[in-house]
Amino acid sequence: MSTQTLSSTDRAEIISYDPSSGKELGRAKLMDALEVRAALTRARSAQPAWAALSYSERAKYILRAREIVLSQLEEISALVSRETGKPAPEAMSMEVVPTLDLMHYFANKSKTMLKARRIDIDQYGLMGRSSRIVYKPLGVIGIISPWNFPWATPLDEVVLALMAGNAAVVKPSELTPLTALKIGEVFKQANLPAGLLEIVTGDGSTGAALVESGVNKILFTGSVATGRRVAETAAALLTPVVLELGGKDPMIVLDDAKLENAARAAVWGAFCNSGQACASIERCYVHDSVAAQFIDLVVKETRALKQGQTTTDEIDVGAMTDERQLTIVESHINDAVSRGAQVLTGGHRPESAGGWFHEPTVMVNVDHSMQVMRDETFGPVLPIMTYKTDDEAVDLANDSIYGLTACVFTSNLKRGRELAKRIEAGTVMVNEVIYTHALAQTPWGGVKQSGYGRTHGRLGLLELVTPQHIHVNSVPSFPDVWWFRYTRDAADLFRGLAHRFTTGSVLSAIPLLPAMLRRLFKR
Ligand code: NAD
């Protein structure tokens, strides 16, 4: 059994299951292309009136929704926990708390971030011209999201889209539709005008229909394979896309790192959300000289974790969300072991747990020929390799098709910052793991096959608007010197422009003034 589409006779519904017990949690509609297009039509007709509101009027709805989330904190965390298998306290700390912060941040700051900006146009400014950028909403944003952070990922993007003056149509993962429907319910309770936020539940076919529907931009979060398909379809329609894809995020532990804390960071970074974060620590490189001590600390910390059904607040690691992912984890471990890797702790599904659990697993004797060091495992597995020099550590970290986040642990912050710059990733943290997705203020996104474009921060907000350049000539009575008619004098002036005006130096351009004035007044 898995949280999947029903057989063809029942294709109108998807079922959401509790991955830690296998029990059905509820059902949602499997929407087809017609229903997706109807949602888009509702969003399109609601958007212009929304765009006409001021930022502070839009913010009122977001802040009202925020109050509703806060008043239902326990209920929402429990729902996310039941639908994903992650512990409820973790759903609260990793999903709900960051979204509360983000809602407040963008409600209050979007106006400043999207304020019209004057552009310095250099010598053209001296000729009475001025240029400004104003930011206009795009229209309707299509948001396609995965199951691993089913609350935070779509909700964050909805808040940014709305604050920028857009409407949003959200296609959540087929594994976590109930959490998405809850997002819709919260905004309904906040009296958001109808049509501005549409939730279209369904599977990949619903997602594909949304991509083909003609939304103005797509924010896609998910796997590389699906992201590629989405980008191909969007390219044919010239629909712009932001792609937040997979990761194989490396952690580098330098010889001067505070080892106890680095070990704790590695264990949380690899095993929170059962390793199903796009920014999970999927590879760890530790300096040879401290490797034995570090590995010992990691293993002790891992063995101390409590795993089980998330019925109490004291469970550290819950079930994995999807059985298919669990089998990928098993195949990566088997591949590594068959090539000589050693499992120090974990390595299996726990006996008698029921549900889709996998033990937190620490491995050594790994190398880059193994899937566990190359492909996204997306599960509770921490393979650790040693290295001898900083250059080697950087080469190993960069030896990947992915580049989402990375982290460096060191007591020397300057050394950490320098090393960070050499790593190919959208975010590199020094003495931190994973958590910057929770920072509303900072951009989130990857390089290489981890995707392109950004969500969060001002860069994320700018993805949701179109910059319009407004250029004004404040001396409307005179023709430009480059307009018709062309004469020998004009050609001489153009030569002068090429040699003098384009240097950017006013002094150099001054000798052109008489010829320019002649052309202005005597044409
Ligand atoms: P997925 O690619 O299978 O699905 C993602 C979404 O796309 C789902 O809603 C799915 O229904 C939809 N979809 C499937 N086929 C589609 C199609 N043809 N057209 C349009 N939509 C379609 O990914 P997943 O298994 O749900 O999520 C796990 C992946 O997401 C991992 O690779 C993980 O690294 C990545 N992820 C990335 C980030 C990030 O910020 N970079 C964050 C979270 C997860």
- Using one digit for the tens of pLDDT, what is the confidence trace for 141-176? 999 999 999 999 999 999 999 999 999 999 999 999
Mean pLDDT of 454-477: 97
- What are phi and psi for residue 435, nearest 5 degrees? -70, -5
pLDDT at 7 over 70: no
Structure tokens at 91: 């759903």
For the residues of 418-434, what is the DSSP string, one character each? Answer: HHHHTS-SSEEEES--S
Q: Which residue type does 343 have?
A: V
User: Which of the 8 DSSP states describes residue 379?
Assistant: S
**And the tokens for 136?**
């206009």
The whole-number pLDDT of residue 2 equals 38
- What residues have CB less than 8 Å from 210, skipping those under 6 apart? 36, 40, 142, 144, 169, 171, 200, 218
CA angle 383, 385, 387 (to 5 degrees): 160
Whether the pLDDT of residue 359 is over 80: the answer is: yes
Q: Give the residue-averaged pLDDT of 242-251.
A: 98
In sequence order, the 6+-apart residues with CB closer than 8 A to the CB of 197 are 158, 162, 167, 168, 170, 183, 184, 187
Residues of the chain above pLDDT 70, percent: 98
Strands 465-473 and 129-137: antiparallel
**Residues paired with 241 in a beta bridge:** 218
Q: Hey, whose CA ends up nearest to atom 16 of ligand 1?
A: 204
Q: What was the pLDDT predicted at 48?
A: 98
3-state secondary structure 395-410: HHHHCCCCCCEEEEEC
* Structural element, H or E, at residue 26: strand 24-29
Helices (H) and strands (E) in the chain, counts: 20, 18
Model confidence over 194-226: pLDDT tens digits? 999 999 999 999 999 999 999 999 999 999 999
State whether residue 489 is helix, strand or coil: helix
Cα(456)–Cα(257) distance, rounded to whole angstroms? 30
Residue 439's closest CA among 94, 39, 171, 150?
94
pLDDT given at position 64: 98
Kindly give the distance from the C-alpha atom of residue 296 to the centroid of ligand 1, in angstroms, as a whole number: 35
Q: Is 244 a catalytic residue?
A: yes
Residue 190 per-residue DSSP state: T
The pick from 16, 83, 149, 173 for probing ligand 1's pocket by mutation, whose C-beta has the most ligand atoms within 8 angstroms, reads 173
- Mapping DSSP to helix (H, G, I), strand (E, B) and coil, where does residue 383 land? strand
Q: Which residues of 134-144 are buried (b: 16+ CB within 10 A; e: fewer)?
A: ebebbbbbbbb
Q: Are 364 and 284 in contact (CB under 8 A)?
A: no
pTM of the predicted protein model: 0.96
Structure tokens at 128: 């009475």
| Catalytic annotation, pick one of 198, 244, 282, 463 | 244
pLDDT value of residue 380: 98
Closest atom of ligand 1 to 444 CA is 40
Pocket test for ligand 1, best of 32, 144, 157 (most atoms within 8 A of CB): 144
Check whether the bond before 485 is cis (ω within 30° of 0). yes
Helix (H, G, I), strand (E, B) or coil at 118: strand
**Ramachandran bin of 196, using left for φ above 0, alpha for ψ from -120 to 50, beta for the remaining angles:** alpha
**Nearest atom, ligand 1, residue 173 CA:** 9
Considering the chain, what percentage of its residues have pLDDT values greater than 90? 95
Rounded to an integer, the average pLDDT of 495-506 is: 95
Q: How close is the Cα of 473 to the center of ligand 1, in Å? A: 48
What average pLDDT is seen over the chain? 96
Residue 262 clears pLDDT 60, i.e. is over it? yes
Residue 86: CB partners within 8 Å, gap ≥ 6? Answer: 80, 94, 273, 274, 310, 318, 321
The pLDDT-based confidence of 8 (bands split at 50, 70, 90) is very low
Does the annotation mark 278 as catalytic?
Answer: yes
CA–CA gap between residue 464 and residue 58 (Å, rounded): 15
Q: What is the mean pLDDT of residues 3-27?
A: 78
The secondary structure of the chain in percent helix, strand, coil, rounded to multiples of 5, reads 45, 20, 35
Ligand 1, atom 40, lies closest to the CA of 244
Residues in contact with ligand 1 by the CB-under-6-Å rule are: 144-149, 153, 171, 173-174, 203-204, 207-208, 211, 221-223, 226, 229-230, 244-247, 278, 376, 378, 404, 446, 450-451
Residue type present at position 319: A
Of the pLDDT bands very low, low, confident and very high (cuts 50, 70, 90), residue 441 is: very high
Nearest-angstrom CA–CA distance, 242 and 234: 11
CA distances from 233 to 211, 222, 240 (A): 7, 16, 11
pLDDT at position 11: 56
The per-residue pLDDT for 367 is 98
Q: What is the mean pLDDT of residues 98-115?
A: 98
Q: Is 238 left (phi over 0), alpha (psi -120 to 50) or beta?
A: left
Residue in 272, 278, 284, 407 annotated catalytic: 278
Q: What is the 3-state secondary structure (H, E, C) of 243-293?
A: EECCCCEEEEECCCCCHHHHHHHHHHHHHHHHHCCCCCEEEEEEEHHHHHH
Task: Please identify which residue in the block is written with the tokens 């000539």.
Answer: 473
Task: State pLDDT tens for residues 337-354.
Answer: 999 999 999 999 998 778
Closest residue by Cα to atom 34, ligand 1, is 246
Residue 54 has pLDDT above 80, yes or no: yes
Confidence (pLDDT) at 143: 99
The alpha carbon of 144 and the centre of ligand 1 are apart by a number of angstroms equal to 7
DSSP letter assigned to residue 486 = P
Mean pLDDT, residues 87-95 taken together: 98
CA-nearest of 450, 428, 475, 439 to 126 is 475
Tens digits of residue pLDDT in 299-340? 999 999 999 998 889 999 999 999 999 999 999 999 999 999
Do 376 and 247 meet the contact criterion of CB atoms below 8 Å apart? yes
Ligand 1 midpoint to CA 385 (Å): 29
Cβ distance 343 to 361 under 8 Å?
yes
